[in-house]
Amino acid sequence: MEKSIISVVGKDRVGIIARICSYLADNDVNILDITQTIVGGLFQMMMICDTDKCTKEFHVVAEELHGVGDELGVQIKLQKEEIFEKMQRI
Amino acid sequence: MPSLHEVVETNEMFEKDNLDVRTITLGISLLSCIDSDLEVLKKNIYETITTTAKDLVKVGKEIESDYAIPIVNKRISITPLAFIGASACKTKEDYVELAIVLDQAAKDVGVNFIGGFSAIPAKGMTRSEELLIRSIPQAMAKTDCLCASVNVGSTKTGINMDAVKLMGEIVKETAIATKDHDSIGCSKLVVLCNAPDDNPFMAGAFHGVTETDNVINVGVSGPGVINEAIQTVKGKDFTALCEIIKQTSFKVTRLGQLVAQEASKRLNIPFGILDLSLAPTPAIGDSIAEILESMGLEEVGCPGTTAALALLNDQVKKGGIMASSSVGGLSGAFIPVSEDQNMINAAASGGLCIEKLEAMTCVCSVGLDMIAIPGDTEATTIAGIIADEAAIGMVNAKTTAVRIIPVIGKTLGDSAEFGGLLGFAPIMKVNTKSCAEFINRGGRIPAPIHSFKN
């Protein structure tokens, strides 16, 4: 299973997680873990996901999530997990 | 599993601090293309490049998308062309024809630069090398993305002063041949000493004859990330400063290693080296000079600059070397004037002069880079600057280079505009006292003794 990371940064509002989760459910992306915090009104969230069953190509999901972010006024990124493992851990 | 903090910090490096992978460079050996018939050679070269590199740009974009990271350039380096054209090229015009083929092949596969219009007359110059060198002005005038380099010396061979003298003339002729565009041809022409075989950065990239058929070399960047990290140790001692540079360099290099491995796997081409260079761009917050200023210098060029650069260069290597399985190329900190906003500011204010830059090249990764000088500078003076820089490289067993642009029709107080990554540069003052008699002697400066290091 190849894990991916969805990160969300932006101004807090009602329904951010709900909207993202419904998009992921519609596209067969399984959520493995969610971490979330709010620092000074800034919403930060990270989801660890399994995109194996998703039929869309990775870059298509990334672009569509970016679009969902635009609707919500937050920045959403989809990235393969490896980049964080490589850059942050020895 | 990464933490939220790590994810946010990593993405801020890309978004706020301009972290990027500067280049994926595909090295292609053209040795199998050699033929004595120019037309056959042209066909072989075009087909080899367009076949080997056909997926380079596509794979680069896929990696960008998978990790949401910018990979700024996809490039090609080839075997020094003076070897490849030796049998077929009888005149310099033949080499210009090859230059046009290379430029077309690069455009057709979508890369932004192709390097390797090169000769290596470090000790002696072959007839083929001389023809290629003499074709450079026209080759640069008739192409857009071709880069030329000439290696005029090494620690083992000494300096070929005949080649140095010739390159002074060629730099000037290239400036004249491209005078309608601020002599931009010279921004794609570099004269090296101790040129590495595996450099992914332009304009000095070529695929050395010590290399295998095809290889992936990657160059990382990230001056903005280092600068941001240094802000956290303001007022602290050098131990703390060095530690933070090393830690940050490690992270930046691991990014490059990941991209290099992925590119190698997806293209099914072996991974060669990672060049852990800090390469600036003219963008705000992407400056090497700004890092030096953040260390405590009022303006780059002031006393302390060489020491600060030496520290930076060394810590970048120490942090990066553990993060990659294979390090090579030019690894260190580049100091191109026109590509670095704070360098440009210091040169324009008069605080940074060519002589100080020359001192800085003793401890940086390469040499005098992207420096605009008056268009009426004598060819022998340019050769003198090249000889000085080559001597620093030869004696100190490091790569040095000169990429200098005598901007035709411009003088002190003017500035030259090269556009894009190449930036713009104020014309800098050159010492005009003549070195013609020295340069015109001809022959070779012998290799230095390797003991009695004083």
| Spatial distance between the Cα atoms of B77 and B274, rounded to a whole number of angstroms | 15
pLDDT (tens digit per residue) in B128-138:
999 999 999 99
Residue type at B268 in one-letter notation? N
Of A59, A80, A84, the CB nearest to B7: A84
Where exactly are the structural domains of chain B?
Answer: 25-193
pLDDT for position B331: 87
pLDDT for position B154: 97
Cα distance from B280 to chain A (closest Cα, Å)?
21
Which region among A47-61, B39-53, B100-114 has the lowest average model confidence (pLDDT)?
A47-61
CB contact under 8 A, B67 and A79: yes
Residue A1 has pLDDT above 80, yes or no: no
Which region among B51-65, B81-95, B277-291 has the lowest average model confidence (pLDDT)?
B277-291
pLDDT for position B443: 97
| Spatial distance between the Cα atoms of B11 and B7, rounded to a whole number of angstroms | 6
Q: What does residue B132 show for φ and ψ, rounded to 5 degrees?
A: -60, -45
CB contact under 8 A, A9 and B11: yes
Residues contacting A87, CB < 8 A, separation 6+? B10, B251, B254, B255, B258
pLDDT for position B221: 85
CB contact under 8 A, B257 and A77: no
Indicate the SS3 state at residue B306.
helix
Top CATH class, B25-193: alpha beta
Q: For residue A31, what pLDDT band results from cuts at 50, 70 and 90?
A: very high
Q: For residue B17, what pLDDT band results from cuts at 50, 70 and 90?
A: confident
Q: Which residue of A has its CA nearest to B68?
A: A79
Q: CB neighbours (10 Å) of residue B272?
A: 25
| Spatial distance between the Cα atoms of A49 and B445, rounded to a whole number of angstroms | 63
Q: Does B325 touch chain A (CB under 8 A)?
A: no
CB contact under 8 A, B10 and A87: yes
CB contact under 8 A, A7 and B7: yes
Residue A88 has pLDDT above 90, yes or no: no
pLDDT for position B282: 86
Where exactly are the structural domains of chain A?
Answer: 3-88
pLDDT (tens digit per residue) in B345-372:
999 999 999 999 999 999 998 899 999 9
pLDDT for position B156: 96
pLDDT for position B26: 97
Q: Does B46 touch chain A (CB under 8 A)?
A: no
pLDDT for position B424: 87
Nearest one of B148, B152, B154 to B190, comparing CA atoms:
B148
In the stretch 29-88 of chain A, residues with CB closer than 8 A to chain B read: 33, 35-37, 44-46, 48, 58-59, 62, 77-88
Nearest one of B326, B215, B268 to B59, comparing CA atoms:
B268
ipTM of predicted complex:
0.89
CB contact under 8 A, A7 and B67: no
CB contact under 8 A, A62 and B65: yes
Its sign, for the CA torsion B446, B447, B452, B454, is: positive
Residue B454 has pLDDT above 90, yes or no: no
Residues contacting B9, CB < 8 A, separation 6+? A88
Q: For residue B43, what pLDDT band results from cuts at 50, 70 and 90?
A: very high
Q: Does B251 touch chain A (CB under 8 A)?
A: yes
Q: CB neighbours (10 Å) of residue A15?
A: 9
Residue type at B97 in one-letter notation? E
Q: For residue B215, what pLDDT band results from cuts at 50, 70 and 90?
A: very high
Q: What share of chain A is helix, strand, coil (3-state, %, to 5)?
A: 35, 40, 25
pLDDT for position A35: 94
Residues of chain A found within 8 Å of residue B17, distances taken between Cβ atoms: none
CB contact under 8 A, B6 and A84: yes
pLDDT (tens digit per residue) in B399-440:
999 999 999 999 999 999 988 878 889 999 999 999 999 999
Structure tokens at A2: 């190849």
CATH number of A3-88, picked from 3.10.20.30, 3.40.50.300, 3.30.70.260, 3.30.1050.10: 3.30.70.260
CB contact under 8 A, B6 and A62: no
Residue B55 has pLDDT above 80, yes or no: yes
Residue B177 has pLDDT above 90, yes or no: yes
Cα distance from A85 to chain B (closest Cα, Å)?
6
For chain A, helix (H) and strand (E) counts, in that order, are 3, 4
Average pLDDT over residues B161-178: 98
pLDDT (tens digit per residue) in B196-206:
999 999 999 99
Residue type at A7 in one-letter notation? S
Structure tokens at B230: 């240094």
| Spatial distance between the Cα atoms of B320 and B220, rounded to a whole number of angstroms | 10
Average pLDDT over residues A48-62: 92
Residues of chain A found within 8 Å of residue B276, distances taken between Cβ atoms: none
| Spatial distance between the Cα atoms of B432 and B376, rounded to a whole number of angstroms | 10
Average pLDDT over residues A54-63: 92
Average pLDDT over residues B164-178: 98
| Spatial distance between the Cα atoms of B181 and B90, rounded to a whole number of angstroms | 30
Measured in residues, chain A has a length of 90
Tell me, letter by letter, the H, E, C secondary structure of B48-85.
Answer: HHHHHCCCHHHHHHHHHHHHCCCEEEEEEEECCHHHHC
Maximum separation of any 2 CA atoms in chain A, in Å: 38
Cα distance from B48 to chain A (closest Cα, Å)?
30
Mean pLDDT, chain B, as a whole number?
94
